[in-house]
């Protein structure tokens, strides 16, 4: 079989730009070179698309090289010409303008097969307010939550504080509705902390989700597949600080521990896997996603969220869980790309 050209898309305009670059480096290094020819496309923080040659040079120069440069998409003729020669795309742009359905919509319009969830599931997965409303409608167990918009808080801060007191209580977490990697997330212990928490969240989005703070263990499950998805073994995150924030996830100094498999009972592990598959289907996911949970007490499992483009760094939970399930990293990447091609072919038959 001749090698197929895979466009690895990295960087982007969100606050998770650097994480995307690290994920893409790992994927590029691990892809089976006998099967795939990598064609990298960097997106700068300013939204410019770099050509494959420019991207390769920027990768050699480190993540900071992507902060500027490139041409806006409609003017990026050389990058678009190179993209048109690719057989499949592997978008690894975390956060807004990449993980939220916008990049997926571009690939749909262009007729390019792409890895991961489709437009609708990506958009819902990025907007935590929509995701939680969908899970609530489907009867999925989750923590209490509420939604506030920037104009509501600005108009009447006291009313916003009262709303939180009657919805989630304290302590709670305030986070941007659209975002990831715990960027802009604050733990709020009393109404006195709200002003700073809202300022942090509204720096990234004009809608904030307020969640009840759950005291429990954080466990995760990786899901892979289109029409017949499969769930991996269950892993546990033990943060090196009060909660699993950005530095706890990505700092070189982090001592956060990943326990694979999680030291939970077989019954709890089975429930997590079943819930992960149900949430994946409810949201309409395809390709792959990571599903996060809390376990309180001995066996009470609560849904947290779905991440439709989880981290693919060397320390990321998604590939580690599949490796522990018997699917090595390089083979996992091939499976993900094959699922993308299969979905595209299935839709082309309509």
105 and 73 in contact (C-beta within 8 Å)? no
pLDDT value for 245: 46
Higher-pLDDT residue of 252, 175: 175
pLDDT value for 193: 92
What's the average model confidence in pLDDT over 144-150? 96
CB-CB neighbours of 337 under 10 Å: 24
> In the predicted model, is pLDDT for residue 252 greater than 60?
no
- Residue 193 tokens read as 């902390």
For CA atoms 139, 142, 146, 150, give the dihedral sign: negative
pLDDT value for 243: 52
Three-class SS state of 76:
coil
Indicate the pLDDT class of residue 118, thresholds 50, 70 and 90. Answer: very high
* Rounded (10°) angle between helices 17-30 and 329-348: 100
The H or E element spanning position 182 is none
CATH of domain 4-114: 3.40.50.20
* All residues at 6 or more sequence positions from 53 whose CB lies less than 8 Å from its CB, including other chains: none
Fold of 144-212: Dna Ligase; domain 1 (3.30.1490)
Domain pair 4-114 / 215-348, same fold = no
Provide the mean pLDDT of the chain: 91
What is the per-residue pLDDT across 8-21, written as a single tens digit (0 to 9) for each?
999 998 888 888 99
The H or E element spanning position 35 is none
Dihedral of CA atoms 245, 89, 30, 11 in degrees, nearest 10, equals -40
Q: What size, in residues, is the chain?
A: 350
Fold of 215-348: D-amino Acid Aminotransferase; Chain A, domain 1 (3.30.470)
Cis ω for the linkage preceding 261 (within 30 of 0) = yes
- Residue 230 tokens read as 């499969």
Percent of the chain at pLDDT > 70 equals: 93
- Residue 28 tokens read as 């590029």
Burial degree of 219 (CB within 10 A; 0-12, 13-18, 19+): buried
Burial degree of 2 (CB within 10 A; 0-12, 13-18, 19+): exposed
> In the predicted model, is pLDDT for residue 242 greater than 60?
no
Q: Where are the domains of the chain?
A: 4-114, 144-212, 215-348
223 and 285 in contact (C-beta within 8 Å)? yes
For CA atoms 132, 278, 186, 173, give the dihedral sign: positive
Buried b (16+ CB within 10 A) or exposed e, 115-124: bbbbbebbbb
> In the predicted model, is pLDDT for residue 235 greater than 70?
yes
What is the per-residue pLDDT across 266-277, written as a single tens digit (0 to 9) for each?
999 999 999 999
Closest by alpha carbon to 315, among 253, 273, 271, 267? 253
What's the average model confidence in pLDDT over 133-144? 96
Distance CA 194, CA 164 (A): 10
What's the average model confidence in pLDDT over 325-350? 95
Distances 338 to 193, 218, 287 between C-alpha atoms, Å? 47, 31, 9
Higher-pLDDT residue of 313, 56: 56
Percent of the chain at pLDDT > 90 equals: 79
* All residues at 6 or more sequence positions from 198 whose CB lies less than 8 Å from its CB, including other chains: 148, 150, 153, 160, 174, 208
pTM for the model stands at: 0.91
pLDDT value for 1: 63
pLDDT value for 64: 62
What's the average model confidence in pLDDT over 128-145? 96
Higher-pLDDT residue of 336, 243: 336
Burial degree of 155 (CB within 10 A; 0-12, 13-18, 19+): exposed
> In the predicted model, is pLDDT for residue 229 greater than 60?
yes
pLDDT value for 40: 97
């Amino acid at each position: 079989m001749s090698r197929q050209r895979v466009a690895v898309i990295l960087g982007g305009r969100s606050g998770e730009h650097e994480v995307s670059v690290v994920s893409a480096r790992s994927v590029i290094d691990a892809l089976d070179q006998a099967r795939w020819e990598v064609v990298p496309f960097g997106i700068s923080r300013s939204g410019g698309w770099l050509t494959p040659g420019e991207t390769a040079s920027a990768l050699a120069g480190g993540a900071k090289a992507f902060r500027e440069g490139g041409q806006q998409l409609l003017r990026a003729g050389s990058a678009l010409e190179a993209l048109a020669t690719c057989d499949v795309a592997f978008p690894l742009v975390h956060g807004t303008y990449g993980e939220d359905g916008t990049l997926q919509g571009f690939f749909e319009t262009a007729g390019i097969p792409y890895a991961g969830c489709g437009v609708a599931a990506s958009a819902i997965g990025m907007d935590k307010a929509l995701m939680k409303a969908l899970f609530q409608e489907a009867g999925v167990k989750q923590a209490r939550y509420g939604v506030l918009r920037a104009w509501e808080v600005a108009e009447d801060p006291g009313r916003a504080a009262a709303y939180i007191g009657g919805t989630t209580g304290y302590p709670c977490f305030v986070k941007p509705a659209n975002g990831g990697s715990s960027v802009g997330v604050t733990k709020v212990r009393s109404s006195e902390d709200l002003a700073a928490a809202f300022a942090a969240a509204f720096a990234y989005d004009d809608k904030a989700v307020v969640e009840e703070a759950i005291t429990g263990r954080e466990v995760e499950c990786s899901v892979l597949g289109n029409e017949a998805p499969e769930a991996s073994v269950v892993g546990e995150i033990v943060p090196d600080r009060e909660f699993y924030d950005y530095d706890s996830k990505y700092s070189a100094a982090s001592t956060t521990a990943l326990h694979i498999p999680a030291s939970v009972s077989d019954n709890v592990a089975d429930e997590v896997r079943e819930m992960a598959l149900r949430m994946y289907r409810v949201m309409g996911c395809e390709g792959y996603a990571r599903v996060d949970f809390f376990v309180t007490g001995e066996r009470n499992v609560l849904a947290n969220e779905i991440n439709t483009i989880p981290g693919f760094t060397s320390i990321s939970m998604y590939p580690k869980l599949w490796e522990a399930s018997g699917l090595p990293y390089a083979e996992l990447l091939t499976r993900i790309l094959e699922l993308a091609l299969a979905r595209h072919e299935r839709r082309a038959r309509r």
